[in-house]
Structure 1
Amino acid sequence: MLVLPRRPLRDWRVVRGSVDVFGRAASRTPDGSQAVDLGGSERGGIEQTIATEEDAEELVTFKAKINDHPDCVSGARDAAQDFRVQFAADAEHAQRFELGSIAKPARGSSTWTLRRATLWGTDRFSRLQFISDTNHACGPLITDIKVVERP
């Protein structure tokens, strides 16, 4: 699910609330990988410490979609599924992603769609975070996270 060329992303930590991990069958990703629901029993967030250089431009790519699990369809059709990607030490430059809701999805949010965020390293190591802004257990789904330093 989480791959970084030459530097594998491991050891994700839950840093806010709770998250759910969807197995390969439940996530229905194009490549059969797992996915993370950024809302477990409450709004959640994950982080990973990665090697960076201060002020170096980092391109974060990932796939995201609305969580259309049957429990969400029946109980949270109108809940907006939004989240942000950031380095923990630079939250004021977080990039926000608004997927809409099950009832009114944003364009391209009903299927796995490649997304991009450009962040700048905060030190020799930066804490990459995906944080749900959805105040509900049905959070957005993410998978296939990659980070590449841009020249």
Structure 2
Amino acid sequence: MSRRQLRRTLCVTATAIGSLATATTSAGAATAQEIAITNPAFLQPRVGPNNLLNNIGPNDNRITGWRVLGANVDIYGTTRAELTDGYQAVDLNGNNTGGIEQAVSVPAIDAGPKTSVTIGFQAKNNNHPDCPKTTEQKFHVQFAEDPGDRVNFTVHTVTSPGPYRTWQHVTAQFNVVPGVRLLQFVSDNAGYCSALVTKVTASATRP
């Protein structure tokens, strides 16, 4: 496995995020710089704890800070999403393949041509009663400006979710040209249900 592949290997932990703010950490001689994410835990629009707001389409601007891609997405209330901290989650499929994107400002680090960007978030298998029970729930994270550089994720199936039976913290790393860039979470499923995602963070360091 190459060093690049190692850097892009999926990082999975069972540790819950204690704060949506990205901690300042050291990467060699570089210090991570937080990249602002609007509405990282999908609290706007607010949904009743046991409810969901379904089939939010591309022309619907109710998800503050995010634009819907593809067909549509759902917002899950905190209890429906099995979150215990009051946050909400997005289902990347409403009734068909969907996704979300947000414009983020990627800083230049030491005037380099590219910046190393780490996207952190929590993901979980979507076990809503309407979800297909044996379909792998898959999605990918990318920047729209470089769709060939994407990180793929699977949260397995409803019947065999593995660690994704509960919320897991995962990360994806990219080398990005500084400027305003479109961060995207895109489902790779058709029909009802894809993975649940929440608590999105981003940070930048020198590559």
Percent identity over the alignment is 32
Point out which structure has higher relative CO (alpha carbons under 8 A, 6+ apart): 1
Pick closer, same or farther for the CA change 1:55–1:30 going to 2, 3 Å. Answer: farther
2:194 aligned partner: 139
Q: How many residues end up aligned between the 2 structures?
A: 146
Query: Aligned match of 1:47 in 81, 84, 101?
Result: 101
Distance 2:203 2:153 in 1: 20
Distance 1:128 1:63 in 2: 16
Distance 2:80 2:149 in 1: 33
1:8-87 alignment runs, 5 A limit: 8-10=37-39, 11-53=65-107, 55-72=114-131, 76-87=132-143
The gaps in structure 2 that reach 5 residues or longer are 1-19, 23-33, 40-64, 108-112
2:13 aligned partner: none
Distance 2:145 2:156 in 1: 27
Per-residue deviation at 1:18? 0.5
2:154 aligned partner: 98
8 Å CA contact 2:118–2:171 kept in 1: the answer is yes
* Larger helix percent: 1
Per-residue deviation at 1:4? 5.6
2:5 aligned partner: none
Q: Considering only CA atoms, is the larger Rg found in Structure 1 or Structure 2?
A: 2
Per-residue deviation at 1:55? 1.6
Distance 1:60 1:81 in 2: 20
Runs of 4+ in 1 over 6 A off after TM superposition: none
1:88 aligns with 2:144: yes
Pick closer, same or farther for the CA change 1:147–1:140 going to 2, 3 Å. Answer: same
Q: CA RMSD in A?
A: 1.8
Per-residue deviation at 1:120? 2.1
SS in 1 for 2:130: helix
1:149 aligns with 2:204: yes
Per-residue deviation at 1:129? 0.2
Per-residue deviation at 1:32? 2.1
Distance 1:8 1:100 in 2: 27
Which TM-score applies when normalising by structure 2? 0.66
